[in-house]
Amino acid sequence: MTLKKLFVKILLIFLVLAIGFCGLLYFSLRTRVNDISNQEPFASFIGKEIILGQEAILVNNYEHFVHEEPLYLDAVGSQLFEGTTIACKLSKGDIIVINSVKDVTNGVSGTTSTILLGEVTTGNPSKTKPFEYDWGNQQIAKNSKGVYLFTFDTADWEK
């Protein structure tokens, strides 16, 4: 075996290992999104009109926090992140429709957020605006089946 053939074989082995390592990094560090719209408690209100129970705001979300929609539903008086602005004020009684719910798992930290995607009809004349809402908190503990526990505070439309 010549030195050139040995060098080519070592280079090919290194190339295969590098591609395998990059693939492993991609699959382990990518953000995973699961549609959970058909699971409870979400299935009971997907596609139904919900009346907003208190005043709220739609915020132009900071671009790194946007999952699908640039507008974020938030309570009036909430602390806004630097670089975000209020896009629209919503009144008590405005109509919200939740279209889908997704679990978004960050590949780096491993935290899971439950994101509700929907639209709100507000104003006179009425306008429909899409939004996303981060609902629920993941607990560190797991239940007896090994599934992480989530808690869901009262949503803005329920208050």
5 sits in the region (left: phi over 0; alpha: psi -120 to 50; else beta) called alpha
CB 130 within 8 A of CB 118: yes
pLDDT of residue 122: 82
Distance CA 99, CA 35 (A): 11
Coil/strand/helix, residue 81: coil
Confidence of residue 148 (pLDDT cuts 50, 70, 90): low
Mean pLDDT of 100-105: 86
Coil/strand/helix, residue 138: strand
Distance CA 72, CA 74 (A): 6
pLDDT digits (tens, 9 = 90+) for 43-99: 888 888 888 888 888 888 766 666 777 888 888 877 877 778 888 888 888 888 989
Count CB-CB contacts under 10 A for residue 156: 21
Against a cut of 0.85, is the pTM above it? no
pLDDT of residue 18: 95
Coil/strand/helix, residue 71: strand
